Amino acid sequence: MSRLAITLMVALLVAALAGCDQPKMENQPKYEAYESAPGWDNDQSARRPPPGTVARDARLGARPEQLPMPLTKALLDRGQQQFEVNCLPCHGRVGYADGMVVQRGYPAPPSFHSERLRRAPLVHFHDVISNGYGVMYAYADRVEPDDRWAIAAYIRALQQSQHTSVAALDAPQREALENAGREAGQ
């Protein structure tokens, strides 16, 4: 072996050994979550974010308490489409908590037709879709905010479809319902 090759091998070996005494990243001194930190404010390692910090996915401004867009057929159609993609497996086609996931033995969600949920404000459904509730996980990273409102509006339409009597409809609405029934029967 040539002298140059030996010199290169020795240099590489020295460089490799020089890095061996460095601590690995996971072994560096650090605070674990909620660990006390003597000398810091309130002896806490968890720090408050600086004033004005905004979460990555947070919307700026106040959260609307009601539907922040006009209620249109297009919005309800979008809500139905998103409901069928994201909600139908557990909640079922009409919201009675009889979806395929429930039929396979998983816990049933509450029916949208319970008195409690019929009285719930529309923002409740938006919040549950966004943040999850009970065993339902959050869909904020899967469903866009406007689509969450569309789903909430569609849920309200499902509730009304199951709890409105034909006698409560005016003449044009009854006629439209009868025509829809005839078209479905063809």
Measured in whole angstroms, the distance separating CA 33 from the mean position of its chain's CA atoms is 25
Question: How do residues 118-137 score in pLDDT, each as one tens digit?
Answer: 999 999 999 999 999 988 99
Model pTM above 0.85: no
pLDDT band at 2 (very low <50, low <70, confident <90, very high): confident
* Residue 91 contacts residue 97 (beta carbons within 8 Å): yes
CA geometry: angle 57, 152, 93, nearest 5 deg: 120
* Sequence-distant contacts of 118-124: CB under 8 A, at least 24 apart: 118/159, 118/163, 121/65, 121/66, 122/66, 122/67, 122/152, 122/153, 122/156, 123/63, 123/64, 123/65, 123/66, 123/152
Q: Residue 61: is it exposed, middle or buried by C-beta count within 10 angstroms (0-12/13-18/19+)?
A: exposed
Q: For residue 163, give both structure tokens.
A: 């709890």
Give the residue extent of every domain in the chain: 73-185
How confident is the model at residue 151, as a pLDDT? Answer: 97
Task: Find the length of the chain.
Answer: 186
Task: Find out whether 150 and 82 touch, Cβ atoms under 8 Å.
Answer: yes
The H-assigned helical ranges of 63-166 are 73-86, 88-91, 100-103, 115-119, 122-131, 145-162
pLDDT tens, position by position, 46-89: 877 888 888 776 767 777 889 999 999 999 999 999 999 999 99
Q: What is the pLDDT of residue 54?
A: 81
The token pair at 87 is: 């909600």
Homologous superfamily of domain range 73-185: Cytochrome c-like domain (1.10.760.10)
Are the beta carbons of 133 and 109 closer than 8 angstroms? no
Per DSSP, what are the bridge partners of residue 136?
133
